[in-house]
Amino acid sequence: MEGIIQGVTAVIAGGLGVVVGLVAALAFRLSDRAQQREAESEPGALDEGLVRVLSVLRSAAVVIDDDDDVVRASPPAYALGVVRNDALAHETVVELVHEVRRDGVIRERELELPRGPIGSGTVLLQVRAAPLGMDNILVLAEDRTEARRVEAIRRDFVVNVSHELKTPVGALALLAETVQDAADDPEAVRRFTERMQSEAHRLSELVHEIIELSRLQVAGALQQIEPVSVVDVVDEAVDRARTKAQGKNIAITVGGTSESIVFGDHNLLVTAVRNLLDNAVSYSGENTRVGVGVHERDGLVEIDVVDQGVGISTEEQQRVFERFYRVDPARSRDTGGTGLGLSIVKHVAADHGGDVRVWSEPGKGSTFTLRIPAADLAAGALDASAATPDGGPSDDRPAGAPPDGGASGGSTDGSDSGPSTAPGSSAGGPHRHGAGDGPRNEEVSA
Residues 187-210 pLDDT 10s: 888 888 887 887 787 677 667 767
Residues of the chain with pLDDT under 50: 39-41, 43, 219, 331-332, 377-441
Length in residues, the chain:
446
Asked whether 419 and 288 are in contact (CB, 8 A), the reply is yes
Burial pattern 294-313, b for ≥16 Cβ within 10 A else e, equals bbbbeebbbbbbbbbbbbbe
**Predicted pLDDT at 367:** 92
In the prediction, which pLDDT does 56 show?
A: 75
**3-state secondary structure string, 45-96?**
CCCHHHHHHHHHCCCEEEEECCCCCEEEECHHHHHCCCEECCEECCHHHHHH
- How many CA atoms lie less than 13 Å away from 437 in the CB half-sphere? 18
pLDDT digits (tens, 9 = 90+) for 407-426: 334 444 444 433 333 343 33
Which strand (E) or helix (H) includes residue 187?
helix 186-217
Cβ neighbourhood burial of 128 (10 Å; 0-12, 13-18, 19+): middle
Distance CA 99, CA 104 (A): 8
For residue 309, the model assigns a pLDDT of 86
Which of helix, strand or coil describes residue 328?
coil
Residue 378 is classified by DSSP as P
Distances (CA, A) of 267 to 91, 225, 259: 55, 11, 18
φ, ψ at 253 (rounded to 5°): -110, 145
pLDDT at 160: 66
